[in-house]
Structure 1
């Protein structure tokens, strides 16, 4: 099995899910006492959040590239950036490495293909929903149609991610808001919903909705295990 590099801490709650799912997936595929070969560099999300608040994405890219280099130096064969929003600097990180960065949009596309869907609702931070670092490769590379909620709803989602999920709050009232948002996207033609923030899957489960959900943590993990177990 190849060694998977993981950039964690964005946030650590979702990083726990990456670690759990990588190991559970390895055991399911290989059986017995197998566990996943993982080399993680976990960053301080507070430092990144401060840079993001200043719109200093250049420094975000520099910090994540250095963390990624640490995993490469430790023998990682590939890298996962354990956050959707941080894929805004995926090209910067990839440019610093010899090993491949497994882009989360490719993992999302794999799941959409499995579900045989082509029109997807996208939930995430304002950066993820309003910029094109996730939606562009999905549409141009994978021929998928991406829709997002209205601007006022996007603001609600963004606020919940940074002011609730990032500090470990997962409220029933917020869950109800998300369920209604998902229903609206379904009414607008979405065939599946991308949980395009790694914390949203800690709030919303498949049993909460009548429409398929693409949990990007699970999708990313599955893509990594496909590449690592050969």
Structure 2
């Protein structure tokens, strides 16, 4: 089986979730009930976010590549970024890495395509909601992607940065985001919502929304485990 490399720490909660969910899914799939071989390389979330906010994408790519190269030295067969945000430089990383990298957005797009969704919304950090590259595979294939307005984006970003990144789920924050989703349903006529932040699903782990939820982390993990068993 292929050995996985996870570039994590962006933030810690999602990295823990990646490990837990990958290990469980792998164990279910392995005929002997084994756990997967993998290595986790942690980078500094704040340094990564600093490059994003300053739009210093060359420095961001260079910083992340060092982590990927460390994973290569650990003997992994392929690697993933355990966060949506750093995928803004995914194309550069994919070109310069010496091992395959699995993108977080592509499997979510494929699942949405199979479900026949034509209008959706992207919820995530302020950065990902404002960057066109995260919506590219959807838009290029005829799926309309709405995003919250500026005030709503600021609220969601604050909740992610100050609460969810630390594993904190506050009911008032959840109600506020529920309200944003409902407005998008009413005014943008969205048929689904993309949880484009690996921490957002923490808020909806035991809850249902009035429309389907496409969790980028969930579909990424499925693709990762399938790839580990791929001949």
Shift of 1:146: 1.1
Deviates more, 1:200-209 or 1:34-43: 200-209
SS in 2 for 1:90: helix
Q: State the Cα deviation string for residues 191-230 of structure 1 (Å, max 9, x = none).
A: 2111001110111236231211111111110111122212
- Residue 162 of structure 1 aligns with which residue? 161
Per-residue CA deviations over 1:140-176 (Å, capped at 9, x if unaligned) read: 2x44221111222112112222232234432111111
Per the alignment, in what secondary structure is the counterpart of residue 207 of structure 1?
A: coil
Q: Kindly indicate whether the alpha-carbon contact (under 8 Å) linking 1:17 and 1:217 is maintained by their aligned counterparts in 2.
A: no
Structure 1 residues 75, 148: closer, same or farther in 2, change over 3 A?
same
Partners of 1:25 and 1:111 in 2: how far apart? 18
1:18, 1:75 → 2: CA distance? 19
The corresponding residue for 2:146 is 147
Report the aligned-residue RMSD. Answer: 1.8
Matches within 5 A, 1:27-176: 27-140=27-140, 142-176=141-175
Contact kept, 8 Å, 2:48 with 2:86, in 1: the verdict is no
Provide the TM-score with structure 1 as the length reference.
Answer: 0.91
Q: State the distance in 1 between where 2:32 and 2:119 align.
A: 39
Shift of 1:70: 1.3
Q: Report if the CA contact (8 A) 1:43-1:67 is conserved.
A: yes
Shift of 1:114: 4.2
For structure 1, the 5+ residue unaligned runs are none
SS of equivalent to 1:133: helix
Match in the other structure for 2:208: 208
Q: Name the counterpart of 2:193.
A: 193
Looking at structure 2, the residues matched to 15 and 23 of structure 1 have their Cα atoms a distance apart, in angstroms, of 12
- Whole-Å separation in 1 of the counterparts to 2:138 and 2:209: 23
Q: Shift of residue 186 of structure 1? A: 2.2
| C-alpha distance in 2 between matches for 1:39 and 1:143 | 37
Q: Is the 8 A contact 2:13 2:166 kept in 1?
A: no
> What TM-score, normalized to structure 2?
0.91
